[in-house]
Chains A and B, each alone.
Chain A
């Protein structure tokens, strides 16, 4: 079945440093979504990418969808303590299952 792999599993940065998490799918995706989960909370939708090569920005967050629609990345510029949490990518398409397949997540810790 479809697999969505995400790296790194964990990253600890100093406040102000940049952070990137990468997501790779075993199959071509129709779209990819990103979610953030604060400690003890539930996943909250950040963004959806649909087009090949698409780049979207939300303030300090930059999201990219690969040309082959099999990989994606989330980059945070100048991290802040409010960025702490786990970031998940979730892919859709490529299988008969009409549901999101989540990556294993990247847990971000920001040292003040």
Chain B
């Protein structure tokens, strides 16, 4: 039982390049989330999907897009990477949209130069 799996673990991009961060969970959870973590700022919500077929913006959605491909997978796309998007990105899932614990992936460390 792998839990939440993120790929890649590390990535270096040049400014203006695009990439997609992949996330998959094998716990049959309904809700999935993308957070970014920057020093001293905790975890900030980028986008989330309360259930399959829905996506909603979080606190910091600008410069990102998401796709809930199916119940298992939730991807995050950077269309034109900027240095301000240098961060550690965490995907998380929860059994239900409220009142349940979040399970996090191992994170993707992204550097934009």
Spell out A's residues near B (CB within 8 Å). 1, 6, 9, 30-31, 33, 35, 41-45, 48, 50, 88, 90, 92-93, 97-105
Spell out B's residues near A (CB within 8 Å). 31, 33, 35, 40-45, 48, 50, 56, 58-59, 90, 92, 97-99, 101-107
Does B104 contact A98, Cβ atoms closer than 8 Å?
A: no
Known contacts A88-B42, A104-B41: does B99 contact A99 (CB below 8 Å)?
no
Is chain A's binding surface mostly helix, strand, loop or mixed? loop
Q: Which residues of B contact A104 (CB under 8 A)?
A: 40-42
Q: State the Cβ distance, B19 to closest chain A Cβ, in Å.
A: 20
Q: Which residues of B contact A88 (CB under 8 A)?
A: 42-43
- State which of A1, A30, A105 has its C-beta within 8 Å of the C-beta of B42: A105
- State which of A6, A30, A102 has its C-beta within 8 Å of the C-beta of B44: A102
Does B101 contact A43, Cβ atoms closer than 8 Å?
A: no
Does A98 contact B50, Cβ atoms closer than 8 Å?
A: yes
Return 10 A-B CB contacts under 8 Å, by A number: A1-B59, A6-B42, A33-B102, A90-B43, A97-B48, A97-B56, A99-B31, A100-B102, A101-B59, A102-B45
Closest partner residue, chain B, to A44 (CB atom) = B104
Docked CA distance A77–B106 (Å): 29
Closest partner residue, chain A, to B106 (CB atom) = A42
Does B106 contact A43, Cβ atoms closer than 8 Å?
A: no
Closest partner residue, chain A, to B109 (CB atom) = A40
Docked CA distance A98–B103 (Å): 16
